[in-house]
DNA sequence: ACCTGAACACCGTTCAAGT
DNA sequence: ACCTGAACACCGTTCAAGT
């Protein structure tokens, strides 16, 4: 019944020969950092560790768990130790820290966006911290849950898109083709798109031909952060009449 | 040089025997709807079409293109024909329509969140429409680009998380384990999380044990939408002094 | 307890060959 | 123009066996 249960923390610790769950996950994260999640394979990882592929199954239930564990490592030091009194500063700080953490391991971005729930990558301290910020902002009851969902979506959403991987097989070929496609936009049918093309090419989702890894969207990220902070501030009280 | 170029639209059209790029992509979307993107395989698709796997390569360059094309199909009728005069209503409508489109094909959510850029899934009409809304809201110059990025992230972000697939192998086993994990939260270390547990289990990211497919987060989505609208409204003018 | 080794049932994609 | 058919170089995971 009870498998995948390594030496229990204490014990051994003398020789670095044996694999250990931690060593495996660290190696997995390193490999993902180099090749991306899609190209990440159990067999590659085993090769890297000088071990038969099946040896890994002693420490970890399978490929998915390897990825989830690696992502958890990447988010380990994300949560701040204290909740700042100013909730708006706290939100800004949270978004900034999350972005920093993912930027250190850009290839995990797709997993965070798409499989957030299915792994235990998200530390409970982070969720507690988010709730604390929102309680300080004055949310309670049902709206607290909605604000919680909103803040998590805000934290993950922008960064997932910003760091989304471009096709890395024939990277240059794709980039050229994409640039042409964008330059070929018909100004008659899409006037605004054509007019703003110059600016959008600098760094706009879908239009850009580079990933956020190479060309960070710093000022758009700040804009995003302010939008969220202002929006949450406005949502604290029930909408005051009007249209 | 020029491959993957089917009959050119006109012509034939008499017999439904030959594959045609469109038939292939439609079948791909149907298969993805049933099995999810991860489990989607070229060989399965070929089997379904009663054809050798390699036959598909005549109509489409490879697996990635199959997925991108299928996603593009799912977003085909997303863009509204006209830009409403009220930009706030337009934003609400856009987010709602996007969510509806993805809810019709929930398994494409991960791809949209993570690979938005790399495929041509995003129709140019949609980008034009987004720009039109934001111009109506009063954005121009650099802020227009930032608002564009913000609105796209807002459109994609929440829905990607809401419809993120849970582990579907041992679904029930995972759900039970996850519920226990959440129930075991230590109230001493995570007081707010423990206190709000009852409400959060109903439908909060990371905490919930069901996907948005089965348990939609309707009211949180409305909250999200309002937050974005209010936030954008606040960002139209430069922040007016104050702390 | 931890790893080897063989085996199973798959993959995506290439290339040459058919019609 | 469009598809067959064989082949290549991979996968993740199982199970029994070793030590």
CB contact under 8 A, B160 and A160: yes
Nearest to B149 among A110, A217, A231 (CB): A217
CB contact under 8 A, A114 and B164: yes
Top-ranked range on mean pLDDT: pick from A132-146, B16-30, B104-118: A132-146
The label of the residue with tokens 């423990």 reads B194
Q: Give A239's pLDDT tier (boundaries 50, 70, 90).
A: low
DSSP string across B177-220: HHHHHHHT--TTT-HHHHHHHHHHHHH-TTT-SS-TTTS--HHH
Which chain B residue has its CA at the smallest distance from A132's CA? B192
Give how far A2 is from chain B: nearest CA, Å. 14
CA/C1' separation B93–D17 (Å): 63
Select from A127, A133, A136, A140 the residue whose CB has the most chain B CBs within 10 Å, as the one to mutate to test that interface: A127
Closest nucleotide relative to residue A61's CA, C1' based:
D13
What is the pLDDT averaged over residues A160-186? 87
Give how far B211 is from chain A: nearest CA, Å. 9
Neighbours of A31 (CB within 10 A): 22
Residue closest to B165 by CA, chosen among B36, B32, B31: B36
> Touching check for B95 and chain A: CB below 8 Å?
no
Q: How far apart are CA B193 and CA A127, in angstroms?
A: 7
Give how far B75 is from chain A: nearest CA, Å. 14
> Touching check for B116 and chain A: CB below 8 Å?
yes
Q: Give A175's pLDDT tier (boundaries 50, 70, 90).
A: confident
Q: How far apart are CA A181 and CA B163, in angstroms?
A: 30
Q: Which domains, and CATH codes, for chain A?
A: 15-74 (1.10.10.60), 87-165+219-235 (no CATH), 172-210 (no CATH)
Torsion of CA A32, A34, A35, A36, to 10 degrees: 50
Which chain A residue has its CA at the smallest distance from B167's CA? A118
List chain C nucleotides near protein: any atom < 7 Å from a Cβ. 1-7, 10-16
pLDDT at B13: 33
pLDDT at B146: 98
Q: Could you tell me which residue, A15 or A233, shows the higher pLDDT?
A: A233
> Touching check for A98 and chain B: CB below 8 Å?
no
> Touching check for B148 and chain A: CB below 8 Å?
yes
pLDDT at B12 over 50: no
> Touching check for A143 and chain B: CB below 8 Å?
yes
pLDDT at B10 over 80: no
Q: Are B45 and B66 in contact (CB under 8 A)?
A: yes
pLDDT at B82: 93
pLDDT at B4 over 90: no
pTM of the model: 0.92
Q: Please, how many CA atoms are within 13 Å of residue A241, restricted to the half-sphere of its CB?
A: 1
Query: With a CB-CB cutoff of 8 Å, which residues 17-76 of chain A face chain B?
Result: 64
CB contact under 8 A, A145 and B192: no
List chain D nucleotides near protein: any atom < 7 Å from a Cβ. 1-7, 10-16
DSSP character for B165?
A: P
What is the pLDDT averaged over residues A5-15? 36
Q: What Cα–Cα distance (Å) separates residue B125 from each residue in B14, B92, B139?
A: 31, 17, 19
Q: How far apart are CA B152 and CA A162, in angstroms?
A: 11
pLDDT at B240: 57
Q: Could you tell me which residue, A122 or A7, shows the higher pLDDT?
A: A122
CA/C1' separation B15–C9 (Å): 36
Nearest to B192 among A131, A152, A231 (CB): A131
Q: Are A60 and A24 in contact (CB under 8 A)?
A: yes
Q: Could you tell me which residue, A113 or B107, shows the higher pLDDT?
A: B107
Q: How far apart are CA B156 and CA B108, in angstroms?
A: 12
Round the average pLDDT of chain B to a whole number and report it: 89
Angle between helices A142-162 and B142-162 (to 10 degrees): 120
Q: Could you tell me which residue, A139 or A1, shows the higher pLDDT?
A: A139
């Amino acid at each position: 019944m009870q498998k995948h249960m390594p030496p229990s923390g204490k014990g051994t610790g003398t020789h670095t020969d044996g694999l250990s769950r931690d060593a495996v996950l660290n190696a997995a994260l390193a490999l993902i950092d180099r090749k991306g999640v899609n190209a990440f394979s159990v067999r590659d990882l085993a090769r890297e560790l000088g071990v038969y592929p099946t040896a890994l199954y002693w420490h970890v239930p399978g490929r998915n768990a390897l990825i989830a564990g690696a992502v958890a490592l990447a988010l380990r030091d994300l949560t701040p130790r204290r909740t700042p009194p100013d909730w708006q500063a706290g939100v800004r700080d949270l978004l900034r820290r999350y972005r920093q953490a993912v930027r250190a391991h850009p290839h995990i971005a797709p997993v965070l966006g798409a499989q957030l729930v299915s792994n235990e990558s998200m530390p409970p301290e982070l969720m507690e911290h988010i709730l604390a910020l929102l309680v300080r902002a004055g949310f309670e009851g049902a709206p607290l849950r909605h604000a919680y969902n909103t803040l998590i979506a805000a934290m993950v959403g922008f960064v997932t898109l910003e760091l989304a991987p471009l096709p890395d097989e024939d990277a240059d070929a794709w980039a050229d083709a994409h640039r042409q496609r964008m330059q070929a936009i018909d100004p008659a049918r899409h006037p605004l798109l054509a007019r703003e093309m110059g600016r959008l090419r600098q760094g706009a989702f879908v239009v850009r031909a580079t990933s956020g890894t190479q060309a960070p969207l710093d000022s758009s990220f700040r804009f995003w952060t302010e939008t969220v902070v202002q929006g949450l501030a406005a949502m604290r009280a029930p909408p005051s009449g009007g249209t």
